[in-house]
Structure 1
Amino acid sequence: MTEVKYPCYWQKKDGRGQWYWIYYAKNAEPIARSSESYIHKSDCTHSVSLMKGSSGDPLFSE
């Protein structure tokens, strides 16, 4: 088994057999989870890619 290095994303299956991801911080604590589950693992992987690609997007506050 590969040694886990943090921070990282993990893809897992829920009770219905659908895929979701969890993002773990450097201290191995979970800090984000996908807002939906995906039937296909490839769709879950695409969602992770979108998150990774959004690091330069602006942050807004009220």
Structure 2
Amino acid sequence: MGKFEVYIDKGDKYRFRLKASNGQPILASQGYASKASCMNGIESVKKNAGDDAKFLRLTAKDGSPYFDLIAENKQVIGTSQMYSSKESMENGIASVKKNAPSAPIEELS
């Protein structure tokens, strides 16, 4: 089973990452000023992960595919890693859909 990890970055911002059951990070958040805002971000991921329309399939400047997960208000709530292929990116999206809704939250800091 996947899990969310909540931590404080070097700039003292709260962040979360969703990891798959194999330990690989599949979605990472922006920095949040408060822990409560970070937890709201996780709840938004859980709520929106089941809707394929909320996944924006994108391409980086170097041609690498990646995706953003957006909320109802069109704000980005999580960004994936860069993938080597569109197929790998689609597997990442499938992993978020599978893992996010029931993933436990682990606080690292």
Q: Same fold (TM over 0.5)?
A: yes
What is the TM-score normalised by the length of structure 1?
A: 0.77
Structure 1: stretches of 5+ with no match in the other structure: 1-5
1:44 matched to 2:38: yes
Change beyond 3 A, Cα 1:30–1:58: closer
1:28 matched to 2:28: no
Once the 2 structures are TM-superposed, how far is the Cα of residue 19 of structure 1 from its aligned partner?
0.2
What is the TM-score normalised by the length of structure 2?
A: 0.46
| Greater mean deviation of Cα atoms: 52-61 or 13-22 | 52-61
Deviations, residues 4-32 of structure 1 (Å, cap 9, x unaligned): xx400000111111100010001111111
Deviations, residues 21-51 of structure 1 (Å, cap 9, x unaligned): 01000111111101x1001000000000000
Report the Cα distance in structure 2 between the residues aligned to 1:39 and 1:8, rounded to whole angstroms.
22
Which fold has the larger relative contact order, with Cα–Cα distance below 8 Å and residues 6 or more apart in sequence?
A: 2
Greater helix share, 1 or 2? Answer: 2
2:48 corresponds to which residue?
A: 54
Greater strand share, 1 or 2? Answer: 2
Q: Which residue of 2, 7, 19 corresponds with 1:7?
A: 2
Identity in percent? 22
Structure 2: stretches of 5+ with no match in the other structure: 58-109
